[in-house]
């Protein structure tokens, strides 16, 4: 009997064929019955694509003309699990993308290009499932660690571990994983970290504990062949533990029983291209789907997670576990605020901070300086005519990089040599404005030229940022130099502020953190506080030196609430004040938001497209009472230019939608999609390039 299959395939973004496509299949005699989740190859136009069987029907659909038959069944692979299909379906619906787009993005790229013969050959190369080896014993837990692990064992979760930096959260994760693996010989665990550069050190620790044969990694820094190998190991159940970044939330794990999201507050868990999903939020949903325990961990939880972990009597949904003390009687660093209003004009490093750095170096200790701006200077400027190094293709400035004498746009990538004179007036005296990590590194070398290490050698300064680590293996080499003690002063961006276990650093300084204090983004104070708390956590991680560890903050606003809370290491007080402000303003987590964004050749077209969609929706509501009721719960603001409105000669606009009801917001977004598809064909929107929907955006 013929079958009709609903299949998810990769289709062009915003195409009218974005949903599931129907194909026919005539099973051969003796062929194994197809089930949802089976991988197949199907024709689409002139191409042959990978697809996932989503549903199977034995009765023909209303229209059968033009339906094509599938090309092949990849029966060599077990079908994708039903919870995986549900996860992809939910993500596609919630984040307003097609099922095929999300499903294909979740599979390794190399898998999409393999036919049955090639897949069989790859499967032969897969190592056999390793026999379970004895797990290396874990560390002896402190009372607070043991209490947290006990609650994880006894309660269903989800859990939020609110633990100070250095409190031993990672050991709790590993022992929770160990419990699951020992209780069930098939159990699998997923451990996620926010950034690729944090994967190697965690991988080393996990492999030492559980053995290399049971652990695989998944992140975008791997080659296509490596990603396919890891995915196959997880899908077959051979890999018991998967480590990865946000993309790992879609790993096929048929026996998943535990999900860990470390540094859950980090914005890197939010995808910024394609389907703009939050891996942290999907982890909570996946845990509920698969009845797996979910552990979120952070020293500075996101305000959303903190809000959800309030007492159950107040509507909280997570179990909050407290780990306030560092391991081994270690202390959190003493926070010192330097009022830069009392320092000479244009001072980069205040005299007290410079003296503190010098004394640390002379004692053989390490210092870390945080400046979240790479390059030498953000702008080149001519004092005579006012020229600045603007990017001709973006509404942003090109950054001056002194090492290679270039002006580089960090948005479109345009790179030019630094001009010998002002391009506008010919003045040869053009100068940098502001400072980045390159300039700070150079300035430090001048200020510390007379300082020597205990062995009499000159001070060694190392810079770690996106520019210094762009070559393969550079980051690992530089981190090894820090850990070995070869470096005295580490200078860098937020790359060095989180997750690293620097045992020799006793002083951390934030050089210019004020930029985020008065941002138009309501999440800026939360991000700044998290960054500074995480940076402070790099100091004094060795219990023997923690009593003398310090965090210095140079600021023109020392009395600001962010710095006052930082001085006391009082995240709960900071979170309470922020949540109160947001509730009064009707901002998340008290409400839900989405952004409609449009890219076009002109700003007028981009804004008109978004405004026209909103007007069309309101016009429909006049004849649809149900939609009118929904619209009353949703605020649609007029379209405005984005903060950086032009990138690579493309104008960008956005429209904010806000509602106290998540369901109402989703209904409005679902109704807007066909309206935008329809109006794109209009002649007045000929200059439109693309649009996208960002649900639960992290920046506005």
Tokens coding 563: 């710095």
Contact criterion met (CB below 8 Å) for 505 and 473? no
**480-500 confidence digits (pLDDT tens):** 899 999 999 999 998 888 778
Q: Which residue has the higher pLDDT, 80 or 15?
A: 80
pLDDT at 435 over 90: no
**303-328 confidence digits (pLDDT tens):** 999 999 999 888 899 999 999 988 87
Going by pLDDT thresholds of 50, 70 and 90, the confidence category of residue 15 is low
Three-state SS at 60: coil
- Of the candidate ranges 116-130, 327-341, 408-422, 608-622, the one whose mean pLDDT is the lowest: 116-130
What are the φ/ψ torsions at residue 339 (nearest 5 degrees)? -80, 105
What gap in Å lies between CA 348 and CA 373, rounded to an integer?
14
Going by pLDDT thresholds of 50, 70 and 90, the confidence category of residue 329 is confident
What gap in Å lies between CA 324 and CA 334, rounded to an integer?
16
Query: What is the predicted pLDDT for the residue at 132?
Result: 62
Contact criterion met (CB below 8 Å) for 293 and 172? no
- Total Cβ atoms within 10 A of residue 633: 14
- Pairing between strand 592-600 and 366-370? unpaired
Going by pLDDT thresholds of 50, 70 and 90, the confidence category of residue 2 is confident
Query: What is the predicted pLDDT for the residue at 330?
Result: 77
Q: Which residue has the higher pLDDT, 147 or 11?
A: 147
What gap in Å lies between CA 85 and CA 38, rounded to an integer?
11
Q: At what angle do helices 662-680 and 603-621 cross, to 10 degrees?
A: 120
Burial 64-75 (b: 16+ CB within 10 A, else e): eeeeeebeebbb
H helices present in 270-378, as ranges: 279-290, 303-308, 351-362
Burial 406-439 (b: 16+ CB within 10 A, else e): bbbbbbbebeeebbeebeeeeeeebebebbbbbb
Strand ranges for 327-413 from DSSP E:
334-339, 366-370, 379-382, 399-401, 406-408
Tell me which residue has tokens 């984040």. Answer: 95
Report the candidate in 646, 637, 638, 650 with the shortest Cα–Cα distance to residue 607.
638
* Neighbouring residues of 184: CB distance < 8 A, sequence distance ≥ 6: 255, 257
Query: What is the predicted pLDDT for the residue at 635?
Result: 95
Beta-bridge partners for 160: 296, 320
Tokens coding 471: 């070559």
Going by pLDDT thresholds of 50, 70 and 90, the confidence category of residue 334 is very high
Report the candidate in 200, 195, 196, 204 with the shortest Cα–Cα distance to residue 221.
196
* Neighbouring residues of 55: CB distance < 8 A, sequence distance ≥ 6: 5, 6, 20, 36
- Run of H or E residues at 680: helix 662-680
Q: Which long-range contacts (CB under 8 A, 24 or more apart) does 583-592 make?
A: 585/522, 586/658, 586/660, 587/522, 588/304, 588/696, 589/303, 589/304, 589/307, 589/308, 590/660, 591/658, 591/659, 591/660, 592/658, 592/659, 592/660, 592/661, 592/662, 592/665, 592/696
* Backbone torsion region of residue 334, taken as left when φ is above 0, otherwise alpha when ψ lies between -120 and 50, otherwise beta: beta
Sign, CA torsion 359/364/365/367: positive
- Total Cβ atoms within 10 A of residue 190: 26
Query: What is the predicted pLDDT for the residue at 129?
Result: 63
Going by pLDDT thresholds of 50, 70 and 90, the confidence category of residue 447 is very high
Three-state SS at 272: coil
Query: What is the predicted pLDDT for the residue at 131?
Result: 59
- Run of H or E residues at 242: strand 241-244
Tokens coding 509: 């300084």
Question: What is the average pLDDT across 261-288?
Answer: 95
Query: What is the predicted pLDDT for the residue at 528?
Result: 93
pLDDT at 441 over 90: yes
pLDDT at 351 over 90: yes
- Run of H or E residues at 436: none
Going by pLDDT thresholds of 50, 70 and 90, the confidence category of residue 434 is confident
What gap in Å lies between CA 197 and CA 500, rounded to an integer?
9
Give percent above pLDDT 90 in the chain.
68
Tokens coding 329: 């009687």
Beta-bridge partners for 344: none
Three-state SS at 566: helix
CA angle 639–18–607, rounded 5-degree value: 10
pLDDT at 388 over 70: yes
pLDDT at 353 over 70: yes
Contact criterion met (CB below 8 Å) for 372 and 492? no
Contact criterion met (CB below 8 Å) for 427 and 364? no
Helices (H) and strands (E) in the chain, counts: 18, 28
**637-696 confidence digits (pLDDT tens):** 999 999 999 999 999 999 999 999 999 999 999 999 889 988 888 888 988 999 999 999
- Read out DSSP for 3-39? EEEEEEE---TT-TT-S-EEEEE-PPTTPPPP-TT-E
Tokens coding 587: 């901002």
Instruction: Report the largest interatomic distance among the alpha carbons of the chain, rounded to a whole angstrom.
Output: 87
Count how many Cα atoms sit within 13 Å of the Cα of residue 167 in the half-sphere of its side chain.
Answer: 25
Sign, CA torsion 499/502/508/511: negative
Contact criterion met (CB below 8 Å) for 72 and 41? yes
Count how many Cα atoms sit within 13 Å of the Cα of residue 587 in the half-sphere of its side chain.
Answer: 15
What gap in Å lies between CA 404 and CA 412, rounded to an integer?
18
Report the candidate in 325, 335, 368 with the shortest Cα–Cα distance to residue 506.
368
Question: What is the average pLDDT across 369-390?
Answer: 91
Distance of CA 117 to the CA centre of its chain: 36
Count how many Cα atoms sit within 13 Å of the Cα of residue 226 in the half-sphere of its side chain.
Answer: 9
Query: What is the predicted pLDDT for the residue at 154?
Result: 94
Beta-bridge partners for 259: 190, 294
Query: What is the predicted pLDDT for the residue at 12?
Result: 65
What are the φ/ψ torsions at residue 197 (nearest 5 degrees)? -70, -10
Going by pLDDT thresholds of 50, 70 and 90, the confidence category of residue 13 is low
Contact criterion met (CB below 8 Å) for 294 and 164? no
Three-state SS at 225: helix
Q: Report all structural domains of the chain as residue ranges with CATH numbers, in order of start.
A: 3-120 (3.40.1440.60), 143-328 (3.40.50.300), 330-374+436-585 (3.40.50.300), 377-434 (no CATH), 592-695 (3.30.70)
Going by pLDDT thresholds of 50, 70 and 90, the confidence category of residue 392 is very high
Using only C-alpha atoms, the chain has a radius of gyration, in whole angstroms, of 27
């Amino acid at each position: 009997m013929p079958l009709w299959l609903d299949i998810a395939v990769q289709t062009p973004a915003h195409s009218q064929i974005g949903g599931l496509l129907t194909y026919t299949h005539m099973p051969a005699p003796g062929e194994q019955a197809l089930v949802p989740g089976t991988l197949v190859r199907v024709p689409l136009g002139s191409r042959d694509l990978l697809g996932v069987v989503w549903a199977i029907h034995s009765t023909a659909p209303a229209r059968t003309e033009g339906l094509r038959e599938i090309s092949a069944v990849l029966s060599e692979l077990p079908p994708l699990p039903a919870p995986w299909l549900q996860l992809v379906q939910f993500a596609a619906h919630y984040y307003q993308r097609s099922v095929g787009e999300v499903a294909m993005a979740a599979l390794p790229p190399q898998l999409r290009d393999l036919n049955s013969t090639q897949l069989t050959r790859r499967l032969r190369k897969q190592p056999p499932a390793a026999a379970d080896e004895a797990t290396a014993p874990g560390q002896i837990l402190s009372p607070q660690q043991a209490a947290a692990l006990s609650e994880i064992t006894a309660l269903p979760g989800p859990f939020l571990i609110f633990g100070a930096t250095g409190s031993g959260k990672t050991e709790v994760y590993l022992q929770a994983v160990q419990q699951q693996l020992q209780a069930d010989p098939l159990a699998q665990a997923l451990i996620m970290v926010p950034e690729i550069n944090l994967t190697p050190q965690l991988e080393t620790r996990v492999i030492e504990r559980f053995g290399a044969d049971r652990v695989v990694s998944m992140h975008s820094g791997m080659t296509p062949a490596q990603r396919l190998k890891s995915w196959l190991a997880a899908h077959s159940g051979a890999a018991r533990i998967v480590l990865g970044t946000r993309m790992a939330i879609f790993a096929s794990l048929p026996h998943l029983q535990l999900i860990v999201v470390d540094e859950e507050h980090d914005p890197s868990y939010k995808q910024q291209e394609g389907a703009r999903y939050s891996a942290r939020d999907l982890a909570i949903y996946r845990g509920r789907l698969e009845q797996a325990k979910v552990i979120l961990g952070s020293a500075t939880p996101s305000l959303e997670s903190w809000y959800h972990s309030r007492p159950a009597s107040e509507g909280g949904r997570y179990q909050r576990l407290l780990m306030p003390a560092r391991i081994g009687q270690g202390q959190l660093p003493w926070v010192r605020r330097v009022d830069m209003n009392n320092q000479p004009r244009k001072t980069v490093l205040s005299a007290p901070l410079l003296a503190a750095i010098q004394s640390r170096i002379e004692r053989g200790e390490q210092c870390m300086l945080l400046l979240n701006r790479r390059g030498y200077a953000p702008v080149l400027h001519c004092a005579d005519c006012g020229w600045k190094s603007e990017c001709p293709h973006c509404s942003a400035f090109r950054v001056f990089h002194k090492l290679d004498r270039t002006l580089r746009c960090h948005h479109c990538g345009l790179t030019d040599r630094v001009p010998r004179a002002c391009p506008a007036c010919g003045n040869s005296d053009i100068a940098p404005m502001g400072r980045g990590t390159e300039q700070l590194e150079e300035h430090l070398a001048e200020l510390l030229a007379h300082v020597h290490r205990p062995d009499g050698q000159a001070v060694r300064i190392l810079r770690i940022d996106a520019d210094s680590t762009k070559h393969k293996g550079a980051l690992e080499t530089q981190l090894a130099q820090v850990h070995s003690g070869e470096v005295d002063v580490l200078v860098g961006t937020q790359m060095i502020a989180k997750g690293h276990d620097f045992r020799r650093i006793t002083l951390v300084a934030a050089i210019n953190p004020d930029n985020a204090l008065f941002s138009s983004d309501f999440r800026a104070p939360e991000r700044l506080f998290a960054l500074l708390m995480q940076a402070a956590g790099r100091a004094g991680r060795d219990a023997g030196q923690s009593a003398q560890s310090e965090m210095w903050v140079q600021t023109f606003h020392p009395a600001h609430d962010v710095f006052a809370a930082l001085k006391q290491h009082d995240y709960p007080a900071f979170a309470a004040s922020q949540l109160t402000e947001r509730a009064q303003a009707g901002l998340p987590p008290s409400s839900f938001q989405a952004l409609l964004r449009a890219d076009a050749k002109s700003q007028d077209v981009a804004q008109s497209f978004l405004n026209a969609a909103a007007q069309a929706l309101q016009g429909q509501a006049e004849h649809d009472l149900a939609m009118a009721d929904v619209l009353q719960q949703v605020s649609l603001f007029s379209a405005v230019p984005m903060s950086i409105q032009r990138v690579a000669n493309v104008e960008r606009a956005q429209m904010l939608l806000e509602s106290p009801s998540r369901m109402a917001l989703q209904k409005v977004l679902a109704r807007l999609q066909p309206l935008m598809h329809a109006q794109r064909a209009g002649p007045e929107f000929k200059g439109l390039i693309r649009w996208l929907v960002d649900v639960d955006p992290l920046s506005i």
